[in-house]
């Protein structure tokens, strides 16, 4: 039995010893961890704590130390990952963020950073694709860049490529269309009063473009067009505009043609939704600009995240993107270094003997203070003694010798610096609130006290306006106030006189130029002499029989302000601020122009239009032909034998009797090099009256609505005959 008790006691002692040793091991582990962490070995410190936690799983000290060291290590890895991302070292950044998750698996910032790296790789592929397309297809490349910047707005590489592409596209807008390459090829067209559907069929053969017509497109409509060195797309756009038609691009070489009406627009016009996240501009202001300039109706403003949601046609949304890019600019900022200095000085002098201003002698009846009566009995006059006769020397109660000279100098300086945005008001207040008690009387006659706080000190309001040339216009409103001497009202209320100086002005200064406002001066000059009459006015005796008090005070307020521009307004380029926006009735980036054109003629409904004199000769056939510019010789090439020259010699200038020329009553005919080699070919003209003939090269005629004539040309004789 004793043996069993001995064994139990031994086991308890061993357990107690292990607990003591373990209890000592925990502080030692924590101390070792701190030393390792201070040396920068955070991973080893965490490993030490983990080993210690195996032996002491529930120790709160180890849990706290573990949390502390893990937090340090996670912060270190995350910071290194962000630094690696800043220099585009995505591999190192990914390793660091993955290390964060190793120690803190629930860290959302690290997970988002890893997703961002994966997204950056995808965006980088798109950036490379845009770079490849930049030369041949800049508009497509620009669309890719817009998508990249929507997901990563501040990517400097993408912004640089975007700016280059926008300039290139803006310049190319006047040179080339925006469809497939086959529609960019220069062509020459010549149709007169021809069926509109057949004209599109000829363009289809030439430009390898497909047309699908809506059922409501007129099958009998006619049009005339004659142009050289233009593009198929420009010709299509002009034909559509002059015949009240519109197009929808189905793919790179297929167009849907439909009537230009509101009902057809609702049926065929695609609508898209885009959200613009603004960084600097107000969503409300940008929304107003979109509605005013682009006539956008479906606009939603989310003020919570400063975003705008727009629903409109894709071409309108693209214009809206450019407008938002031009408006969403960081505002200019300026730092105002203000110094407000108040310099005051005063000189006070009191010198001489101050005598009582009055001396009185009287008899008292034995009462003092308020109980003393003003009525003195006559019997007291006969019984005057030293006990009932008094002398009144006034409040001064005697003669005072003044020997005082005092000089004071005081400076009050406030030197605030404040940074403010352009056109925003900033306010600086330096001072204190002084309580002022006022007595109020009610209708019943009772009085009550009211405490009001009075602002005393410096109040400075400023509103800067930064111009584009670096000048700053500043509106200044400065008020400096101080408490004067306290006053007591007849009813016993205490109030203060307030000394106030105020200035309000507008000044202009250049960047880092100091402006000074001074001259707000307050001056007081007081000189007071008192003494015995007569002798106090005599020289040398005036100091003995009189007193002189003088006080001179002067204070001046000086304002020194120095504006320093911290950020100027970053103006976008002309390719951002200026762009084609369509016509009054339709928003579009395409304008009705004939690019690279020497001459053009376009009418609808069978009427012809004027073309300049240097024109491309048209083939003399019942059905006009269309020829690519590449098949034509240079303008200065000699004409082949038996064929008219490509460009006619200068024609004699014809005067028109009327200053007003009706274009619908004019038409022009020209002949091309590909005219068939036949002895004589004729072409019938409608509405022809006046014809000007040039030997063997061409003719220009203007006609009345119903006149008819025929023109016959003989290539051999190179003469023109009319029948």
For position 249, which CATH number holds? 3.55.50.30
Q: Do 276 and 237 sit in the same domain of this protein? A: no
φ, ψ for residue 540 (rounded to 5)?
70, -35
> Confidence class of residue 287 from pLDDT cuts 50, 70 and 90?
very high
For residue 186, being part of any structural domain is answered with yes
Residue 464: the pLDDT is 93
Interior/surface letters 486-519, b for 16+ CB within 10 angstroms, e for the rest: eeeeeeebeeeeeeebeeeeeeebeeeeebebee
Q: Which two tokens stand for residue 301?
A: 């403003």
Give a yes or no: residue 426 inside a domain: yes
Same domain as 159, residue 21: no
Give the total number of structural domains in the chain: 5
Q: Which of 230, 245, 268 lies at the terminal end of a domain, its last residue?
A: 268
- pLDDT digit string (tens) for 510-528? 888 888 887 767 777 777 7
Q: Which token pair is 594?
A: 């004939």
264 shares a domain with 276:
no
Q: Residue 213: is its pLDDT beyond 90?
A: yes
**Are residue 276 and residue 294 in the same domain, yes or no?**
yes
Is the pLDDT at 463 greater than 90, yes or no?
A: yes
User: How many CB atoms sit inside 10 A of residue 572's CB?
Assistant: 17
Looking at 547, 567, 587, which one is the last position of a domain?
567
Q: Tell me how far apart the alpha carbons of residues 637 and 634 are, in angstroms, rounded to a whole number.
A: 5
Instruction: Supply 452's token pair.
Output: 């009001």
The answer to whether 307 touches 282, Cβ cutoff 8 Å, is: no
Check pLDDT > 50 for residue 500: yes
The whole-angstrom separation of Cα 223 and Cα 195 is 6
**CATH number of the domain residue 79 falls in:** 1.25.40
Question: Is 591 within the bounds of a domain?
Answer: no
User: Which range is most confident: 14-28, 54-68, 386-400, 452-466?
Assistant: 452-466
Per the domain annotation, does 651 fall within a domain?
no
Closest by CA to 55, choosing from 23, 32, 10, is 23
The answer to whether residue 132 scores a pLDDT higher than 70 is yes
Q: Which of 6-20, 253-267, 562-576, 594-608 has the lowest mean pLDDT?
A: 6-20
Q: Which residues pair with 563 in a beta bridge?
A: 336
- My answer on whether 518 and 483 are in the same domain is yes
Name the percent of the chain in helix, strand, coil, to the closest 5.
30, 35, 30
- C-alpha span between 52 and 308 (Å, rounded): 56
pLDDT value for 671: 32
Helical segments of 482-555, H only:
542-545
The model carries a pTM of 0.52
User: What pLDDT, on a 0 to 100 scale, did the predictor assign at position 160?
Assistant: 84
Alpha-carbon gap, residue 627 to 189, rounded angstroms: 7
End-to-end CA distance of the chain: 153
Size (the chain), residues: 723
- Contact (CB, 8 A) for 224 and 192: yes
* Token representation of residue 263: 């009902």
Round the CA-based radius of gyration of the chain to a whole number and report it.
50
| Residue recorded with tokens 């693209």 | 318
723 within some domain: no
pLDDT of residue 628: 33
- pLDDT given for residue 375 in this prediction: 63
Asked if residue 322 has pLDDT above 60, the reply is: yes
Q: Which burial class, exposed, middle or buried, applies to 345 when counting CB atoms under 10 A from its CB (0-12, 13-18, 19+)?
A: middle
Instruction: Name the more confident of 502 and 444.
Output: 502
pLDDT at site 265: 86
Q: Where residue 289 sits, what CATH number does that domain have? A: 3.30.1370.120
SS3 labels along 615-633: CCCCCCCCCCCCEEHHHCC
Domain identity same for 356 and 480: yes
25 falls within a domain: yes
Confidence of residue 286 (pLDDT cuts 50, 70, 90): very high
In a domain? residue 412: yes
**Pairing verdict, β 298-302 and 333-354:** unpaired
Is residue 311 scored above 90 in pLDDT?
yes
Q: Which domain holds residue 98?
A: 17-106
Mean pLDDT of 97-122: 80
Task: Check if the beta carbon of residue 701 is closer than 8 Å to that of residue 690.
Answer: yes
Residue, of 121 and 544, whose pLDDT is higher: 121
Higher local confidence (pLDDT), 415 or 662: 415
Q: How far apart are CA 83 and CA 69, in angstroms?
A: 21
Residues 524 and 539 in one domain: yes
128 and 37 part of one domain: no
**Residue-wise DSSP of 13-50:** HHHHHHHHHHHHHHHHHHHHHHHHHHTT-HHHHHHHHH
**Could you give the 3-state DSSP secondary structure of residue 682?**
strand
Hunting for tokens 């003669």 — which residue is that? 399
Residue 315 CA to residue 143 CA, distance in Å, equals 12
- Secondary structure of residue 513 in the 3-state scheme: coil
| 168, 308: one domain | no
The pLDDT of residue 695 is 34
As a whole number, mean pLDDT of residues 369-394 equals: 63
- When pLDDT is averaged across residues 91-113 and rounded to a whole number, the result is 81
Tokens at residue 348, please? 């006070």
Task: Report strand pairing: 447-466 vs 426-441.
Answer: antiparallel
pLDDT interval class at 167 (50, 70, 90): confident
SS3 state at 721: strand
More confident residue, 54 or 223: 223
Same domain as 81, residue 230: no
Predicted confidence band of residue 621 (pLDDT cuts 50, 70, 90): very low
- Out of 83, 106, 129, pick the residue that ends a domain: 106
Q: What is the pLDDT of residues 626-657, one digit of tens each?
A: 333 233 233 233 433 333 333 333 333 333 33
> Tokens for 351?
């010198």
In a shared domain, residues 349 and 308? no
d(CA 551, CA 532): 22
Do 295 and 151 share a structural domain?
Answer: no
- DSSP characters for 160-187? HHHHHHHHHHHHHTTT--SS-GGGGSEE
Give percent above pLDDT 90 in the chain.
7
- Confidence band for 276, pLDDT divided at 50, 70 and 90: very high
Per-residue pLDDT band at 721 (split at 50, 70, 90): very low
Assess if residue 704 is contained within a domain.
no
- Residue 609 reports pLDDT greater than 60: no
């Amino acid at each position: 039995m004793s043996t069993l008790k001995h064994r139990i006691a031994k086991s308890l002692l061993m357990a107690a010893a292990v607990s003591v040793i373990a209890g000592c091991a925990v502080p030692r582990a924590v101390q070792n961890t701190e030393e390792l962490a201070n040396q920068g070995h955070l991973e080893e410190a965490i490993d030490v704590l983990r080993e210690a936690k195996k032996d002491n799983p529930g120790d709160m000290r180890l849990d706290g130390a573990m949390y502390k060291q893990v937090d340090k290590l996670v912060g270190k890895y995350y910071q290194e990952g962000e630094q690696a991302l800043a220099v585009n070292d995505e591999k190192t950044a990914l390793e660091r963020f993955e290390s964060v998750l190793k120690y803190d698996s629930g860290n959302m910032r690290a997970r988002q950073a890893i997703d961002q790296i994966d997204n950056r790789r995808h965006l980088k592929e798109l950036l490379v694709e845009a770079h490849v397309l930049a030369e041949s297809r800049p508009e497509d490349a620009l669309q890719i860049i817009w998508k990249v910047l929507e997901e990563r707005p501040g990517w400097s590489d993408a912004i640089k490529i975007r700016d280059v592409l926008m300039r290139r596209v803006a310049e190319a807008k006047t040179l080339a269309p925006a469809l497939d390459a086959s529609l960019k090829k220069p062509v020459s067209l010549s149709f007169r009063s021809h069926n509109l559907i057949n004209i599109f069929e000829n363009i289809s053969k030439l430009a390898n473009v497909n047309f699908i017509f809506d059922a409501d497109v007129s099958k009998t409509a006619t049009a005339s067009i004659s142009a050289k060195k233009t593009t198929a797309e420009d010709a299509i756009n002009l034909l559509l505009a002059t015949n009240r038609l519109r197009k929808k691009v189905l793919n790179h070489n297929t167009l849907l043609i439909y009537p230009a009406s509101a009902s057809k627009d609702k049926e065929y016009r695609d609508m898209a939704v885009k959200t613009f996240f603004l960084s600097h501009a107000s969503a409300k202001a940008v929304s107003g600009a979109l509605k005013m300039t682009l006539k956008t109706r479906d606009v939603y403003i989310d003020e919570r995240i400063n975003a705008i949601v727009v629903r409109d046609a894709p071409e309108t949304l693209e214009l809206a993107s450019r407008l938002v890019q031009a408006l969403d600019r960081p505002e200019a900022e300026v730092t105002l270094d203000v110094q407000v200095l108040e310099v005051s000085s005063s000189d006070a002098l009191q010198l001489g003997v101050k005598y009582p201003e009055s001396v009185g002698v009287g008899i008292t009846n034995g009462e003092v203070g308020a109980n003393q009566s003003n009525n003195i009995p006559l019997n007291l006059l006969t019984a005057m003694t030293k006990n009932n006769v008094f002398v009144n020397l006034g409040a001064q109660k005697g003669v005072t010798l003044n020997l005082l000279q005092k000089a004071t100098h005081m400076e009050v300086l406030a030197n605030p610096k404040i940074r403010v945005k352009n056109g925003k008001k900033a306010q600086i207040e330096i001072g204190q609130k002084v309580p002022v008690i006022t007595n109020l009387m009610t209708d019943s006659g009772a009085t009550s006290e009211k405490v009001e706080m009075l602002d005393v000190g410096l109040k400075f309001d400023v509103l800067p306006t930064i111009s584009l040339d670096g000048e700053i216009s500043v509106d200044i409103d400065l008020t400096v106030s101080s408490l004067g001497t306290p006053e007591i009202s007849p009813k016993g209320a205490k109030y203060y006189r307030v000394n106030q100086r105020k200035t309000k002005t507008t000044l202009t200064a250049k960047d880092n130029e100091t402006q000074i406002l001074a001259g707000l001066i307050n001056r007081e000059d007081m000189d007071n002499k008192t003494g015995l009459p007569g002798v106090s006015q005599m020289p040398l005796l005036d100091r003995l029989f009189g007193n002189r008090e003088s006080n001179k005070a002067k204070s001046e307020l000086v304002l020194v302000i120095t504006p320093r521009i911290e950020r100027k307004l970053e103006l976008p380029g002309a390719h951002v601020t200026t762009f084609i926006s369509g016509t009054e009735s339709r928003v579009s980036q395409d304008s009705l122009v004939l690019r690279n054109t020497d001459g053009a003629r376009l009418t609808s409904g069978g009427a012809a239009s004027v073309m300049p004199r240097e024109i491309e000769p048209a083939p003399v056939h019942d059905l006009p032909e269309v020829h690519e510019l590449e098949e034509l010789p240079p303008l200065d090439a000699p004409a082949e034998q038996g064929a008219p020259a490509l460009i006619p010699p200068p024609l004699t200038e014809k005067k028109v009797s009327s200053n007003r020329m009706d274009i619908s009553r004019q038409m022009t005919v020209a002949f091309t090099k590909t005219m068939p080699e036949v002895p004589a070919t004729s072409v019938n003209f409608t509405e022809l009256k006046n014809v000007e003939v040039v030997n063997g090269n061409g003719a220009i005629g203007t006609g009345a609505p119903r006149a008819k004539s025929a023109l016959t040309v003989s290539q051999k004789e190179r003469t023109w005959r009319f029948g």
